Amino acid sequence: MNLSSGAILVLSGPSGAGKSSLISKIIDHIGPTYFSISTTTRAIRAGETDGVHYHFVTEEEFKREIDQEMFLEYAVVHGNYYGTSLGPVKQALKEGKLVIFDIDVQGHDAVQNRLADITTSVFITTPTLAELKKRLHNRLTDSEEVIAKRIEMAKREVQRVSEYDFLVVNDDLDRAAEILVSIAKAARMKIPTLQINEFVQTWEAQA
Ligand code: 5GP
């Protein structure tokens, strides 16, 4: 797939690691971006808005979109469907934007398979499992059962950190944001193989 002059930044990590806070903190400091709004079948949480945090749909609607091949990738996370719509991503890449995904490890795998050339990935986590448990309990948005599921998931996800380009430990929000700004700026500079080959040919041709 040759889509672009844009680039992709994948952010993964356990719920509660502070991905959303980090994204809000860096978004105005990294140039033109498009934050991909995923589609999900999970229930809307207090404080969330349809079309802003997610496109909330029924399982039937989600499956229809799968059949219509509307997703760049999709996965089942914590028993709910989550997916990235291809259309807006293609458009943003054409416009040369940095496209940011907040997706899980399965989604990251799928994006790497299709668009590795223009993708930079970051795994964001708390310094320890104990800290993650504390944050999940403190945010008061999920039931004990949901928190337990998220913790189990986090333990599995953390095993796959080595698949990512960068690991950011969100101990101090300002420091983590500073690191993420550097990574986002570098992500834009990633050169697809095709362009490297073209550059080398042109470079050699002008001897
Ligand atoms: P939450 O329910 O806490 O908003 O998200 C749960 C998990 O789903 C997070 O790890 C988040 O990164 C992941 N997620 C959100 N949107 C997508 C998506 O479009 N695709 C995939 N694969 N994962 C997603």
CATH number of the domain to which 199 belongs = 3.40.50.300
C-alpha distances out from residue 94 to 3, 5, 154, 199, Å: 6, 6, 34, 20
Q: What is the mean pLDDT of residues 102-124?
A: 96
Report the nearest-CA residue for atom 21 of ligand 1.
103
Confidence of residue 1 (pLDDT cuts 50, 70, 90): very low
Question: Is the residue at 122 inside a domain?
Answer: yes
Ligand 1, atom nearest to 12 Cα? 12
pLDDT in tens, 23-56: 999 999 999 999 999 999 999 988 899 999 999 9
Query: What separation in Å is there between the alpha carbon of 103 and the centre of ligand 1?
Result: 5
Report the nearest-CA residue for atom 5 of ligand 1.
15
pLDDT in tens, 150-166: 899 999 999 999 999 99
Confidence of residue 142 (pLDDT cuts 50, 70, 90): confident
Give the mutation target among 11, 12, 19, 38 for probing the ligand 1 site: most ligand atoms within 8 A of CB. 38
Name the β-bridge partners of 86.
none
pLDDT of amino acid 58: 98
Report the nearest-CA residue for atom 14 of ligand 1.
103
Q: What is the mean pLDDT of residues 147-152?
A: 92
Question: Is the residue at 29 inside a domain?
Answer: yes
Question: Is the residue at 57 inside a domain?
Answer: no
DSSP summary character for residue 28: G
CA separation for the pair 124, 24 (Å, rounded): 14
Give the mutation target among 104, 122, 161 for probing the ligand 1 site: most ligand atoms within 8 A of CB. 104
Question: Is the residue at 145 inside a domain?
Answer: yes
Q: In what order do the strands lie in the sheet with 55-56?
A: 55-56, 39-40, 80-85, 71-77
Question: Is the residue at 188 inside a domain?
Answer: yes
What is the reported pTM? 0.92
Contact call for residues 99 and 34 (beta carbons, < 8 A): yes
Total domains present in the chain: 1
Question: Is the residue at 61 inside a domain?
Answer: no
Q: What is the mean pLDDT of residues 59-75?
A: 97
Q: What is the mean pLDDT of the chain?
A: 94
Q: What is the mean pLDDT of residues 159-188?
A: 97
Question: Is the residue at 123 inside a domain?
Answer: yes
| Higher-pLDDT residue of 180, 149 | 180
Report the nearest-CA residue for atom 10 of ligand 1.
104
Confidence of residue 3 (pLDDT cuts 50, 70, 90): very low
Which of 9, 71, 11, 3 has its CA nearest to residue 41? 71
Report the nearest-CA residue for atom 1 of ligand 1.
15
> What is the identity of the amino acid at 117?
D
Ligand 1, atom nearest to 108 Cα? 22
Name the β-bridge partners of 56.
40
pLDDT of amino acid 2: 44
Domain of residue 159 covers 7-36+96-205
Question: Is the residue at 120 inside a domain?
Answer: yes
Query: What separation in Å is there between the alpha carbon of 74 and the centre of ligand 1?
Result: 9
Return the percentage of the chain with pLDDT > 70, whole number. Answer: 98
